[in-house]
Structure 1
Amino acid sequence: MSAPDAGTAESLYEHAGGHEGLHRAVEAWYPTVLADPLLAPLFGEGRPSHVGHLTAFFAEVFGGPRTYTDELGGFPAVLEAHRGLRIREDQRQRFVELFIHAADRTGLPDDRRFRDALHAYLEFGTEVAVQNSHASADDQLHPCQEVPRWDW
């Protein structure tokens, strides 16, 4: 798949193949974090709803429907999920690495613009998660307080 022209209004969500494209990537990625010795302590045994929730989250971030905010708790749910996890830098990096591998395996677009945007969001999102996972008070939380909307 080629990158959109600068003048198009195609969102990252559309370019990724919409809900189906993102779901494929999240569905391939999730078992890898559950099985990874570095990340398994953060995810435990997993939750059946996690793939759907993460798909909705990524869809919203990349310009798709606001399902995560409107139906699944929005950013407060993200904060709650990360509270107290005390995510380390090596875990953050491994999360990103495994997601990129899942993107490769499931056919997410591999054009440079999309991959740069995907990687930039993963770096940002995991840095937010790390900061929030170490916060012992609300004033220590990352200032991002709603699901971000990422663009090219």
Structure 2
Amino acid sequence: MTSLYTHAGGDEGLHRLEEVFYTKVLADPLLKALFPKARPHHVQNLSWFTAESFGGPDRFTRNLGFEHIINVHRHLRITEAQRQRFVDLYMQAVEESDMPADQAFRQAIREHVEFGSHVAMQNSHAETDADLHPLREVPHWRWDGDEQQEPAP
């Protein structure tokens, strides 16, 4: 079965998606506190994370490691409204970046972003390592084209 990575257009498609998304969050009044300024490698890092999670190359793990994403979210104190806005903007970016329109693909992306945003929100409020979400590696989002599954542990 085709991976989400391949179905999304590989590196080119995911980079396009993350560029559209990042532009949206930088301009969003609710999310500005979480993204106070543009960071030169943010789109690349987001693209690497999404690609790896969707079945592509493991560049995020090799170059940054999962601890990086934990540290980025630590102490941000993401609110539920910010988390939901993040998901909404991501799905708008999916629409605007010429991603495949089939329902199963779009649902897999939504579930991936919902899951990830909940992990980020929990980690953003963690006072100790014990408060962090137990996920310690890039989740590998499985998709068979018809139904999605939770990420592999």
Question: TM-score under structure 1 normalisation?
Answer: 0.92
Equivalent residue letter for 1:35: A
> What stretches of structure 1 move > 2 A for 4+ residues in a row?
none
Equivalence for 1:4: none
Equivalence for 1:148: 139
Q: Percent of aligned positions with the same letter in both sequences?
A: 53
Task: Provide the rounded CA distance (Å) in 1 between the counterparts of 2:82 and 2:37.
Answer: 17
Task: Provide the rounded CA distance (Å) in 1 between the counterparts of 2:21 and 2:84.
Answer: 14
Residue 85 in 1 paired to residue 76 in 2?
yes
Q: Can you give the 5+ residue segments of structure 2 that lack an aligned partner in the other structure?
A: 144-153
Task: Provide the rounded CA distance (Å) in 2 between the counterparts of 1:102 and 1:116.
Answer: 14
Q: Summarize the alignment of residues 73-112 of structure 1 with structure 2, pairs less than 5 Å apart.
A: 73-112=64-103
RMSD of the alignment, in Å? Answer: 0.6
Q: Shift of residue 106 of structure 1?
A: 0.8
Q: Summarize the alignment of residues 25-36 of structure 1 with structure 2, pairs less than 5 Å apart.
A: 25-36=17-28
Q: Shift of residue 112 of structure 1?
A: 0.9
Task: Provide the rounded CA distance (Å) in 2 between the counterparts of 1:68 and 1:23.
Answer: 14
Higher relative contact order (CA 8 A, sep 6+): 1
Q: Shift of residue 110 of structure 1?
A: 1.3
Question: TM-score under structure 2 normalisation?
Answer: 0.92
Task: Provide the rounded CA distance (Å) in 2 between the counterparts of 1:105 and 1:32.
Answer: 11
Equivalence for 1:125: 116
- Secondary structure at 2:78 match in 1: coil
Equivalent residue letter for 2:30: L
Aligned residues: 143
Task: Provide the rounded CA distance (Å) in 2 between the counterparts of 1:35 and 1:105.
Answer: 16
Task: Provide the rounded CA distance (Å) in 1 between the counterparts of 2:25 and 2:57.
Answer: 26
